[in-house]
Amino acid sequence: MLRPLSLLLLRLGTGLLLILWGGLRLTMPEAGPGLADKYYGGLASASTVQVGFGALEVALGLLVALGLWRRVAYPAQAVLLILATLMIGKYLLDPLGMWLLDKEDAQILFFPSITLAAASLVLVAFRAEDGWSLDSRLRRG
């Protein structure tokens, strides 16, 4: 009982995060380029790209949260969250701004990104034991 509950909570937490971030990109496309420029080296900073990426995040988040098409959705989420974590590496290596960053640029709130990346790997590793997913209810692997 604890394992499927834990996997459900990981699915909901990581999936809802993608839905929220994607929803922000869709409803506030003007904010996305600024964040992309500041934290992700300008990667995909055009607002039209941000809207498309937001739609993808929402769709992927829904699939993950529901546990639907897990063979594709879980690895896709893992790739997305791990790449995002790597992109903000300097903020993770120096969350307090003691040696890599200035105190003003330090961002301790990014530190949980490591946990989200790890959670996405747990979902991939234990996909077969995710008994409360929609795929499991529909008897699909």
- 16 burial (CB, 10 Å; 0-12 / 13-18 / 19+) is middle
d(CA 79, CA 21): 16
Per residue in 62-101, pLDDT tens?
999 999 999 999 999 999 999 999 999 999 999 999 998 9
Q: Where are the domains of the chain?
A: 2-128
How far is Cα 125 from Cα 95, in angstroms, rounded to an integer?
Answer: 29
Question: pLDDT tens, 109-137?
Answer: 999 999 999 999 999 999 999 999 999 99
**Two tokens at 107?**
């961002």
Can you give the pLDDT at residue 47?
Answer: 72
Decide: 76 and 13 in contact? Cβ < 8 Å: no
Using a pLDDT cut of 70, give the percent of the chain over it.
88
**Average pLDDT for 17-43:** 78
Q: Answer yes or no: is pLDDT of 41 > 90.
A: no
pLDDT at 49: 79
Binning pLDDT at 50, 70 and 90, where does residue 51 land? Answer: confident
Residue 48 — pLDDT band, cuts 50, 70, 90?
confident
Average pLDDT over all residues of the chain: 90
